[in-house]
Amino acid sequence: MKRILVTGGAGYIGSHTAKCLAQAGYTPIVYDNLSNGHRWAVRFGPFVEGDLADRALLLDTLREHQIDAVMHFAAYAYVGESMRNPLKYFRNNTANTITLLDAMQEADVQHIVFSSTCATYGVPETVPIDERESQEPINPYGESKLFVERMLRWSGEAYGLRWAALRYFNAAGADPDGEIGEVRDPETHLIPLAVQAGLGQRPPLKVFGTDYPTPDGTAVRDYIHVMDLGAAHIRALEYLAEGGDSIALNLGTGDGYSVRQVLDAVGDALGHPVPADDAPRRAGDPPALIADAALAHKVLQWQPAYSSLDTIVSTAAAWHKQHGAG
């Protein structure tokens, strides 16, 4: 399998994975409507500007480029927005994936690696979280991704589709070469917000919640470097090509860092403290989300290479120093 359709490949994780694919000898064909992605991020293969709702264009793309497999990143991913406008998320993330799977079936493309999320777990009963944890999303974004996981399972049963659903924890960092990085409007991720606040590119950071049952009272998360996510997608693709069974896997490090620890790391990278103000908790934010990624290590023979907090922060800081807040 050498020609890979990368839906959402102009976005943050998709563009970094496209670079990983190109470095590994694959040809990434990016399919993106540029609603959230960026044309400048498409640098590693052909680009088809199109929407997932356009079945005819999808089918033409799959056939014209002789696609061997799909990596599916295209989705809306703002939790708060999904609470305000759930149908937008079910239409784009779920219904449009039906269109993609239908086109894949007609074009006889039988392998897909899906960008899922730890948001499918909701508020976990145990931490670290392994794949046996019950999936009870607490927002439409997580629900829309869980629906797709279920569609993949039933498509496998009915049509022989081979799939891997990769449940990310907190994607972070930027390409160490500085070619691409994280640009989002509005920005909602902690590390770019902290870096930009530290660089004076935005107002002081708001620390949402200082009374969690954690060592310093702030929320704890598992951060995984975006290039390590890209490498895991390639290993998942190879696993399916080698005849591996369809599977869902967590992608994380197993290490949790609090908001205050992240701020300290960003301050160390920049050489001065990050301005920050305490604020009340946000509804629906669990105290801690940490991955048990042992199954991914075993099945994919994958280990994160860039996901120390210092490396994540230093690559993000280098990107935002060069490119500002957008």
Active site residues: 141
**In the numeric block, which tokens belong to residue 71?**
């990596």
Q: Please, which residues have CB within 8 angstroms of residue 316's CB and are 6 or more apart in sequence?
A: 172, 173, 174, 181, 182, 191, 192, 195
- CA distance readout (Å), 229 to 66, 166, 206, 271, 295: 25, 9, 27, 28, 15
- CA 12 to chain centroid: 8
- 């929320």: which residue's tokens? 219
- CA 178 to chain centroid: 19
Tell me how far apart the alpha carbons of residues 33 and 181 are, in angstroms, rounded to a whole number: 19
- Among 52, 159, 32, smallest CA distance to 100 is for 52
Task: Let me know how long the chain is.
Answer: 326
Residues 259, 264, 265, CA angle at the centre, nearest 5°? 95
Residue 92 region, left (φ>0) first, then alpha (ψ -120 to 50), else beta? alpha
Helix-strand-coil percent breakdown of the chain, rounded to 5? 40, 20, 40
Tell me how far apart the alpha carbons of residues 27 and 129 are, in angstroms, rounded to a whole number: 34
